Amino acid sequence: MRRAQELEKRLKHIPLVMERQEQQQREATKRRAAAAGPSISPYMGRRNKSRKSKSFRMPSRERYIAKLWTVVLLLIFAVIVVMLWQQIPTVPR
């Protein structure tokens, strides 16, 4: 008889414990999301700015690669211009 009462008491207590654990887990998830938000997306907090001045900033590695390609293409263009300039015959005055 005593064992049955003890089991009934535990059965009534289990939903309360589970609800408390779920609540703690939700709070922990909210804290983790708030802490991880800026590291996941650096642009999340900037939604209040006006839409007119929206600019896309690339990550530093991609920006470096873009700069490198720009320099390489400019050098190739400069070489082509110099080679064409040399092929133009000089006209005596």
pLDDT at 7: 84
Q: Is the pTM of this model over 0.85?
A: no
pLDDT at 52: 56
Write the CA distances from 62 to 33, 67, 85, integer angstroms: 27, 9, 34
CA distance 4 to 12: 12
Mind giving me the DSSP string for 35-83?
HHHHHH-TTGGGTTS-STT--PPPPHHHHHHHHHHHHHHHHHHHHHHHH
Residue in the structure block whose two tokens are 């779920």: 22
For the chain, 93 residues long, give each residue's pLDDT as a single digit of tens.
888 888 888 888 888 888 999 999 999 988 888 877 656 555 555 555 555 555 667 788 898 999 999 999 999 999 999 999 988 877 776
Query: What is the three-class DSSP state of 16?
Result: helix
pLDDT at 83: 92
